[in-house]
Amino acid sequence: NSEEQKEDTNYLDGIQGLLKTKDGQQLNLDNIGTTPLAEKVKTKACDLVLKQGLNFIS
């Protein structure tokens, strides 16, 4: 199933701090720095990856 493989790659990218925006741009969490907004984005992104991971497992 190619859909599952796609999600798997997203998950691996997420672990490495590389997330893609909806329009396919890559968002590197290492590059956005440590401003309060950047920290919020990182927390949000990690939450999202975690939730998707849990859905993937269960």
Alpha-carbon gap, residue 4 to 7, rounded angstroms: 5
Close Cβ partners of 28 (under 8 Å, ≥ 6 residues apart)? 17, 18
* Closest alpha carbon to 41 in 49, 13, 58: 49
For the stretch 20-39, pLDDT in tens is: 666 776 666 666 777 788 88
Domain span at residue 6 reads: 2-57
What tokens were used for 56? 């993937």
Q: How many Å apart are CA 21 and CA 35, to the nearest integer?
A: 20
Domain tally, the chain: 1
Kindly report the pTM of this predicted structure: 0.36
Higher pLDDT: 57 or 4? It is 57
Per-residue pLDDT of 3-20, as tens digits, reads 655 666 766 666 665 666
- H or E segment to which residue 20 belongs: strand 18-20
